[in-house]
Amino acid sequence: MDTDQQPPNPTPAIDAVPTQPSVPDPSASKEQELPNDQSEQQGSKRKRDSNDNRGGRGGGRRNKGKDLGRKAWSRQTSDKRARVEGDQAAKRQKTERGEGSLPIYATEFSKEDIEADQRRPKRKVAVLLGYSGSGYHGMQLSATEKTIEGDLFTAFVAAGAISKANATDPKKSSLVRCARTDKGVHAAGNVVSLKLIIEDPDIVKKINDNLSPQIRVWGIEVCNKSFSSYYLCDSRIYEYLIPTHCFLPPHPSTHLGRKLVESAEQENDLEGYKQRQAEVASYWDEVDEKYIKPILETLPEIVRKRVEKALCIKSDTEPENEASAHPSAQDQPSQTQEDKSSENPPEVQEQPSEENSSKEGDAQQMSTNAAIRTIREAYLKAKRAYRIPKERMDRINEALALYTGTRNFHNYTIQKSFRDPSAKRLIKSFKISRDPVIINGTEWLSLKVHGQSFMMHQIRKMVAMVAMMVRCGGDIQRIVETYGEQKIAIPKAPGLGLLLERPIFDSYNKRTVVDYGKNPIDFSKFETEMEEFKQREIYERIFREEEESNAFGNFFNHIDTFQENSFMYVTSGGIAASKPTKTGPAQMSDKAALEQIESEPEDEVVNNGEEGG
């Protein structure tokens, strides 16, 4: 049982959804009428109370909602937030597409078609859906980008669930999403609430007929008029799939691999470091002996020396200190995303010479680049053949458990300070959900996190932090230190592996059957279809995209070869080791460091940084 307290005075965002939310009652907005003299007396009392509590600048707002009932306050707050978000979205869309043009999801009808369209009753409903986020610019509507909601809205119009008069503006249908997912992130289950025309018994089939196979509507449940999928969601469950080779230590030849040992020696932590890496201590020596040396032995001597120097592989005849002095080819600055794949390694740059200008020199250069490519492919093959031991999995679970409870996750999102109350979030559980599975020769782990709400990039940064601490043999208590005031740069793991499993509406469901006679919002009745969809459209897509792009391998390789101190908190030196060594203009900011490591922008803020995984 979680013993941590909830954050005080939560902001009315998704993290502030109460554990036992009440369903707004339309009748609650009617104020009880009082005799005139009573009203005047109460008005005077409120004025005196306000004056007594006014303390300094802005103090008069302290009791602004004192006399509002709980339901009235909740409705007033929700309405204000919806208006603000709507206004911001409208301004942003006008700027993006230019005044007068329609957003890409809009369907424009002629005035005659709209007038001829028969008016039919609308009902407030919850639409249960699933989708693969590949190829989409996230869940939330965008005037210029392809999104899940954009395709969904277009399908509603095409199926007749939204009238022609409302076909250009989702706000007229009161569309609200339960959870916003980032670009490329998937969902087996998500919910949107809005007003739809659902008198057609085949409406779900007609909607699906107008959607790509990547998006499926599981069902539609009629709700009470005040239902909001955003505010009445109790919690969310996410799954993150990650290859087990992500928990292998950095290669000893990389910048980070060398720093881990150096720091452990300096901090008198060498024995502790070796103990934390005991189950993988000989891994890279065995790989070099089994996979790499046989390739090197087939190369001409001059090519072999070039390859050893470029990849920082210690030869049998080279002194150890000389080998370690060579800059690894993997230590070169980050390249563009197109060049990150292991199938396209960087060419070795040589100083101009007579030999290189000759045909023989060109041939040797080509042989060198081909050999480097072959060796990198051999390393990738070896990593994919890795099978994680139980000791490593136990350590991962220990690290994940440190996230549970109400914590200050300001380091796991963007543009939130330590003192921002909304940075505190409740994590109910986080653990490896099942035994590893082997897909196309690569072993994968499934991590599942159940939380009340999440901030932008939070889950991906949580996964990255655990992977970095475990693979680097760091003290996992460093995770607890990240809840403190010190700001550090935590990169976000690839969005490829993240999937929203389903939102939970337990509190609403307990009341809806009794109070409103409605069906509960429950995904269990669609379990069979959802599992088939997850395997076909989500899991297989994740496995296939990773095999083609090596996204996880590239992500951790960039961390291992990064030259600045930004991520040195994984070493025995702790957070203090991540302070920059350079000052002035030469100093690299945390934001710049993350931009070099990650394949997508860090600072694209949507929905005030809420619910993006």
Quickly state the pLDDT bin for 210 (edges 50, 70, 90): very high
In this predicted model, what pLDDT tens digit does every residue of 48-84 receive, in sequence order? Answer: 444 444 444 444 444 444 455 555 555 555 555 555 5
So what's the pLDDT on residue 13?
A: 39
All structural domains of the chain, each given as residue ranges with its CATH number in brackets, are: 241-249+388-500+537-609 (3.30.70.660), 282-384 (no CATH)
In this predicted model, what pLDDT tens digit does every residue of 141-181 receive, in sequence order? Answer: 999 999 999 999 999 999 999 999 999 999 999 999 999 89
**Higher-scoring residue by pLDDT: 308, 87:** 308
Alpha-carbon distance of 370 to 375, in angstroms, equals: 9
Quickly state the pLDDT bin for 96 (edges 50, 70, 90): low
pTM, whole model, 2 decimals? Answer: 0.76
Query: In terms of DSSP bridges, do strands 498-504 and 186-196 run parallel, antiparallel, or are they unpaired?
Result: parallel
**Higher-scoring residue by pLDDT: 2, 444:** 444
Backbone phi and psi for residue 421, each to the nearest 5 degrees, phi listed first: -60, -30
Predicted confidence (pLDDT) at residue 406 exceeds the cutoff of 90 = yes
User: What torsion do the CA atoms of 84, 89, 95, 100 make, to the nearest 10 degrees?
Assistant: -100
So what's the pLDDT on residue 318?
A: 45
Residue 306, amino acid? R
So what's the pLDDT on residue 339?
A: 42
Q: Is the dihedral of CA 170, 88, 423, 148 positive or negative?
A: positive
So what's the pLDDT on residue 594?
A: 73
Q: How far out from the chain centre does Cα 587 lie?
A: 28
CB 199 within 8 A of CB 120: yes
- In 3-state terms, the chain is what percent helix, strand and coil (to 5)? 45, 10, 40
Nearest CA among 23, 6, 2 for reference residue 422: 6
Q: Which residues are known to be catalytic?
A: 182
Q: Token digits for 430?
A: 């986080």
So what's the pLDDT on residue 88?
A: 61
In this predicted model, what pLDDT tens digit does every residue of 300-328 receive, in sequence order? Answer: 888 888 888 777 665 544 444 433 434 44
So what's the pLDDT on residue 168?
A: 93
N-to-C CA span, the chain: 24
CB 343 within 8 A of CB 404: no
Question: Exposure pattern of 87-126 as b/e (b: 16+ CB <10 Å)?
Answer: eebeeebeeeeeeeeebbbbeebeeeeeeeeeeeebebbb
Cα radius of gyration rounded to whole Å, the chain = 28
So what's the pLDDT on residue 467?
A: 98
CB 313 within 8 A of CB 293: no
